[in-house]
Amino acid sequence: MAESDSASVKCTYKITYQPDSTNIGSKNTESAFLLIGKTLSLYQYENKIKLDSAIDNNIRNNIQETKISNYPKANFWYRIYKKSSENQVTTIDYIGTKEYAYTETMPLFVWNISSESKNINGYNCRRATTSYAGRVWEAWYTTEIPFSEGPHKFSGLPGLILEIKDVKGYYEFKMSDITFKQNSLINFSNAGISYTTRNDFRKNKDNYEKNYVSIRIAQGGAIYGDEKTMRKIVSDNYNKRNNPIELK
């Protein structure tokens, strides 16, 4: 199945996040894009786009790239499509190098809208709060941009979300730029993608990241180094990624 839409709006968000809840020094920033069309929107991270472009360029030009450090570092590989015509949110993400997709039914959020207001980048905004996947979120949205959209999976407010953060300060999204009258295409295709459920995906991805070395050995794959050392590295990295955006 494939479908496409023409994006009329492109929003750029700056994301500040803390992957290790025990270490404030692990805070990092990335940028992501939200393309909004009439019936379809796409949210994806800039570094993953750059990574895909670099790999495609090497393939087209028959460049044998072996150093992973030479590629852009992408910490978020998933992309999210919202289909307003079908009230669906589809997340496409990876376990290893294999792509999986799962679909959720909108609305995902029950919003509490307050009378509080403030100005953000020249737009009059209202405050709203919601709970989702183990976190409480505070959003600022504007009806002056009449799209019921936002970063990640967030949607359902009577206007575009310009800022949203979880109340503990681990994740924060701030719109840094917006461009209207876009002609960018939003293409959705599930070719080569395995469909699953959100719960099964989360369970299987967690198992893969926790037991990566054992899984690679069982599959006959290379582990690039001493097995004991690699197990220690994988375990340490797993323990440092204890604070995903969706806790439940």
Q: HSE on the CB side for 207, CA within 13 Å?
A: 7
User: What mean pLDDT do residues 203-211 have?
Assistant: 96
Distance CA 239, CA 247 (A): 14
Q: How confident is the model at residue 68 (pLDDT cuts 50, 70, 90)?
A: low
What is the band of 221 on the pLDDT scale with cuts at 50, 70, 90? confident
Query: DSSP class of residue 70?
Result: G
Q: What is the C-alpha to C-alpha distance for residues 42 and 157, in angstroms, rounded to an integer?
A: 17
Give the Å distances, CA to CA, from 192 to 44, 90, 101, 119, 132.
Answer: 19, 15, 10, 44, 30
Phi, psi of 108 (to 5 degrees): -90, -15
Helices 198-210 and 227-240: angle between axes, nearest 10 degrees: 140
Written as six digits, the tokens of 179 are 């461009």
pLDDT digits (tens, 9 = 90+) for 196-206: 999 999 999 99
| pLDDT confidence bin for 1, thresholds 50/70/90 | low
Mapping DSSP to helix (H, G, I), strand (E, B) and coil, where does residue 231 land? helix
pLDDT, mean over the chain? 93
State the pTM of this model. Answer: 0.93
User: Alpha-carbon distance 245 to 184, whole Å?
Assistant: 28
Query: Worst-scoring range by mean pLDDT, 53-57, 96-100, 124-128, 193-197?
Result: 53-57
Q: Which of 234 and 183 is assigned the larger pLDDT?
A: 234
pLDDT on residue 232:
94
Please say if the pLDDT value at position 66 is more than 60: no
Check: CB of residue 125 under 8 Å from CB of residue 117.
yes
Predicted local distance difference test score (pLDDT) of residue 69: 64
pLDDT for 67? 60
- At residue 213, what are phi and psi to the nearest 5 degrees? -65, -45
- Cα–Cα distance measured from residue 141 to residue 124, given in angstroms and rounded to the nearest whole number: 8
pLDDT at 54 over 90: no
CA distance to 193, 204, 208, per residue, from 95 (Å): 11, 8, 7
Confidence of residue 64 (pLDDT cuts 50, 70, 90): low
CB atoms inside a 10 Å sphere around CB 126: 18
